[in-house]
Amino acid sequence: MSEAALVEPPIVPKFIDDMLNFARANSLWPLTFGLACCAIEMMATVAARFDLDRFGAAAFRASPRQADVMIVAGTVNKLMAERIKTLYDQMPAPKYVIAMGACACKGGPFTGPGLYTVIPGVDQIIPVDIYIPGCPPRPEALVAAFLKLQQKIKGRVK
């Protein structure tokens, strides 16, 4: 057996990869990281009226080791930035991030001269897949973000 045969990665047929992505997309387990008022809208999304569970994404996890989607909702300051990065690093791959609200997306009204403790967007710390603008965004926007993330995981949206 040659060395080249040992180094080459295993070939995974495309249909198996598509099946795995379909399963991943339809069983998202979010890790909630509600920092401010957007967390109230996030909680409303899993309640009876909007029912995020019908899209396969309502099993909110308390441990990053059991989650594959982190929802950062609210104002991120320098103190919390370390914790967000630590939790993100503890999540197993593949992992995704949703920035919910104007504060998580770009710092909101809390950035500017003299406001040095607020991070101007969670994307300064970890990579973000989906942005949800608004102050606070409605629960429908979070449902739409999950649907878009599902399409992205299935490979239908870049």
> Which pLDDT score, from 0 to 100, does residue 61 have?
84
Looking at the DSSP assignment, which residues form a beta bridge with residue 132?
A: 100
Averaged pLDDT, groups of 10, the chain, 158 residues long: 59 76 84 84 85 81 90 90 94 93 88 81 94 92 92 79
- Per-domain residue ranges of the chain: 3-153
pTM score, whole prediction = 0.84
> Which pLDDT score, from 0 to 100, does residue 129 have?
95
One of 3.40.50.970, 3.30.565.10, 3.40.50.360, 3.40.50.12280 is the CATH number of 3-153, namely 3.40.50.12280
Can you say how many angstroms the Cα of residue 105 is from the centroid of all Cα atoms in its chain? Answer: 12
> Which pLDDT score, from 0 to 100, does residue 72 have?
93
Residue 24 neighbours by CB under 8 Å, 6+ apart? 68, 94, 153
> Which pLDDT score, from 0 to 100, does residue 11 have?
66
> Which pLDDT score, from 0 to 100, does residue 28 have?
87
